[in-house]
Structure 1
Amino acid sequence: MSNVAPIHQRGHVAEQESAGTARVTEIRREADGVMGLVLTDPVGDRLPDWAPGAHIDLVLPDGTTRQYSLCGDRWDAHSYRVAVLREPSSRGGSAFVHDSLREGDLVGIGGPRNNFALVPAARYLFVAGGIGITPLLPMIAQAELLGADWNLLYGGRTRTSMAFLDELGRYGERVRVEPQDESGLLDLPAFLGEPREDTRIYACGPAPLLDALATAAACWPSSSVRTERFVARDRSDGGSDTSFELTLARSGRTIVVGRSETVLEAVAAAGVDVLSSCRQGTCGTCETTVLVGRPDHRDSILDDDDRQAGDCMFPCVSRAVPGDRLVLDL
């Protein structure tokens, strides 16, 4: 997403592919550089249901589309809440929200879709860095509702930059708030402890935090750890892409994907529309079924098991394994 981009396990919940319209009914400052938005249906209708970990596409009045995690009450059928961090290197989305968006404005929404679903477990360890707290808030509420054991480690640059501290305060000692200017870097090994089969780890935050978590959790089963990234993981290896054949199964047509174009671009040039949004392999909008062939996965969404299965891909970034061809359900 613009602030939260999914990477981990599939399992879409309450997925809606068509865009709708919502009204911004509340804008409030949640922390330094963080604005919270409440969105409702313009005529008061119900909004599509969602589950913890879901995000929406937010289509701003200037035409910019960004993805944001839903961080409000999943049981409130008439409003969504998202939080938007002002990004210093903003491509326009966060700057527009902070500087130009007003209460009463209409925005487009797509989704919700969920690439970060909360799986059942007796115990959860949540790790958040900065705006990465947003997808974890509904997960914490769900864990509380189900009576699961859980703890949260929440870091940020400064205490004033960390959103929703008041909201988290009601959970008492289950929440550890450790701003970097007060406590230094998060002590992830101490927080995680020894691996436990009944525990799932959910984390969201900037790349350095998630890389540190991967190191700290190296002795945990890979299925125990689920993470969500702000931006796409860098998977460049210095090599050059090669062209390959791609067959569109529904028409039987075979095309060639050039070395300098994406599968999404090649398919569009062949006259086939595939719904897409981020074009960075982070939002999951363009997920496509693979019928034949081995994808070269370059997304930041699928986990190792999904990659090994090879039955889907994200054509905005992924390609065929060199020397192979693909048949897609398009």
Structure 2
Amino acid sequence: MDPHTPPPDLYGRPRADTFLRFLTAFGDRYGPALGGPLLRRNPRRPPAGPVPALRLVVTARRPVAADAVELTLADPSGAPLPAWQPGAHLRLTLPSGRERHYSLCGDPGDATVYRIAVRRLPDGGGGSAEIHDGVHPGTRLAARRPRNGFAFCAEPAVLLLAGGIGITPLLPMAREAARHGLDWHLVHTGRDPGSLPFADELRALDPHRVHLRTDREHGGPPTGAELLARAPRGAAVYCCGPAPMLTAVQRALDASPAAALHFERFGAAPVTGGAPFTVRLGADGPALPVPADRSALDVLREARPGLAYSCRQGFCGTCEVRLLAGTADHRDRRLTPGRRAAGTLLPCVSRAAEGETLVLDL
């Protein structure tokens, strides 16, 4: 893809976003004309500096499901926290220095606290284990202000689909849908009743619109058609869950009553259209082969376990490295063409042509 061409949809939806397409076309047509003196920065105004990190303290911790805990975070002084909207996430810096993204699952109308829920991942990168084992009431944490890459548009008809801990961004959406009187339904799936966080809180919203579905009761995971069967005609579907769930919903969407799909992944998307290439650690360092079905970040972390990362989806920038030589296939959703040309690379999603070697400053 031409690096100057925007992705078909910034939220990862498989269908083109009409508004984004219009906005891009408008910018291409009128941007040069409008980019003159009227839009230039006032030379008397100093350039904006970096936004300071939020300083938060854990005020409460409670289990919400098997191997899942909820943390309540507040400003140590009691000051109001920055506003957020359903679907937003918080980028936390843990005591070890690890950075991780967690969806906000509280009430956007409550400016006194943030709530997040974290499931322990035995085979993860250590962030969830650190929270479960070492973060308790009184722990101080730094965070970036909430950002939203999974915005809830409050369409008149909505179907919310959650898999396990994927309920976290959808719980505020359900509250918002109920508050605005939308035609909404929520399906929450998991292995068994004990694996479903916030079950009581969800039922309290509207027991007739909340449907809890477990593999144990039904003999296995639901199909995409089964998940989408509750969609009102013309509904917008919001889905967050494991990769097989998202794939099933995408494949069944066209045959369903739903009209649009918005989704957020737990982690990295499967590599598609990949070819084997090589990354070299410095001009004289070791050469590491990257298979067609693995990311460069995964390979690099085997050689450099301390290499920072967070989203693994090309939007947070935590894993940023410098490209010294080679031609990269940038697949991120963060870097500008100028930064790419200057040698910035996000190895979580970026690749190279078959046989190419990318020399990294590591």
TM-score of the two chains, using structure 1 as the length reference: 0.72
Counterpart for residue 305 of structure 2? none
Q: Does 1:111 align with 2:145?
A: yes
Counterpart for residue 127 of structure 2? 93
Radius of gyration: which is bigger?
2
Counterpart for residue 251 of structure 1? none
Counterpart for residue 106 of structure 2? 72
Q: Give me the whole-angstrom Cα distance separating, in 2, the residues matched to 1:185 and 1:278.
A: 28
DSSP 3-state at the match of 1:120: coil
Match of 1:19 among 53, 77, 82: 53
Structure 2 letter corresponding to 1:131: I
Match of 1:235 among 259, 262, 271: 271
Q: Does 1:278 align with 2:314?
A: no
Counterpart for residue 243 of structure 2? 207
| Coordinate RMSD, CA, aligned | 3.9
Instruction: Summarize the alignment of residues 54-203 of structure 1 with structure 2, pairs less than 5 Å apart.
Output: 54-170=88-204, 171-183=206-218, 184-193=220-229, 198-203=234-239
Provide closer, same or farther for how the CA distance between residues 279 and 178 of structure 1 changes in structure 2, counting only shifts above 3 A.
Answer: closer
Counterpart for residue 8 of structure 1? 12
Question: CA shift at 1:94, angstroms?
Answer: 0.8
Instruction: Summarize the alignment of residues 48-59 of structure 1 with structure 2, pairs less than 5 Å apart.
Output: 48-59=82-93
Q: Give me the whole-angstrom Cα distance separating, in 1, the residues matched to 2:130 and 2:115.
A: 17
In 2, are the aligned partners of 1:8 and 1:115 still within 8 Å (CA)? no
DSSP 3-state at the match of 1:217: helix
- Whichever structure has more strand as a proportion of its residues is 1
Provide closer, same or farther for how the CA distance between residues 240 and 199 of structure 1 changes in structure 2, counting only shifts above 3 A.
Answer: same
The CA deviation string for residues 218-270 of structure 1, in whole angstroms up to 9 with x for no partner, is: 44699710111111112254414599xxxxxxxxxxxxxxx999999xxxxxx
In 2, are the aligned partners of 1:281 and 1:316 still within 8 Å (CA)? no
Q: Give me the whole-angstrom Cα distance separating, in 2, the residues matched to 1:81 and 1:195.
A: 28
Match of 1:37 among 71, 75, 82: 71
The CA deviation string for residues 176-227 of structure 1, in whole angstroms up to 9 with x for no partner, is: 1011111232243144249877310000011111111111114469971011
In 1, are the aligned partners of 2:100 and 2:127 still within 8 Å (CA)? yes
Match of 2:331 among 258, 277, 298: 298
Q: Give me the whole-angstrom Cα distance separating, in 2, the residues matched to 1:197 and 1:315.
A: 43
Provide closer, same or farther for how the CA distance between residues 134 and 189 of structure 1 changes in structure 2, counting only shifts above 3 A.
Answer: same
The higher relative CO (CA closer than 8 Å, separation ≥ 6) is in: 1
Question: CA shift at 1:278, angstroms?
Answer: 2.1
Q: Give me the whole-angstrom Cα distance separating, in 2, the residues matched to 1:228 and 1:279.
A: 11
Structure 1 letter corresponding to 2:160: F
Q: Give me the whole-angstrom Cα distance separating, in 1, the residues matched to 2:231 and 2:107.
A: 31
Question: CA shift at 1:297, angstroms?
Answer: 5.6
Counterpart for residue 316 of structure 1? 346
Q: Give me the whole-angstrom Cα distance separating, in 1, the residues matched to 2:187 and 2:215.
A: 12
Provide closer, same or farther for how the CA distance between residues 312 and 230 of structure 1 changes in structure 2, counting only shifts above 3 A.
Answer: farther
Provide closer, same or farther for how the CA distance between residues 218 and 97 of structure 1 changes in structure 2, counting only shifts above 3 A.
Answer: same
Structure 1 letter corresponding to 2:346: C
Q: Give me the whole-angstrom Cα distance separating, in 2, the residues matched to 1:127 and 1:45.
A: 34
Q: Give me the whole-angstrom Cα distance separating, in 1, the residues matched to 2:111 and 2:63.
A: 23
Q: Give me the whole-angstrom Cα distance separating, in 2, the residues matched to 1:185 and 1:172.
A: 22
Match of 2:252 among 202, 213, 216: 216
Q: Give me the whole-angstrom Cα distance separating, in 2, the residues matched to 1:321 and 1:100.
A: 39
Q: Give me the whole-angstrom Cα distance separating, in 2, the residues matched to 1:282 and 1:146.
A: 33
TM-score of the two chains, using structure 2 as the length reference: 0.66
Q: Report how many aligned residue pairs link the two structures.
A: 276
Q: Give me the whole-angstrom Cα distance separating, in 1, the residues matched to 2:313 and 2:131.
A: 23
Counterpart for residue 29 of structure 2? none
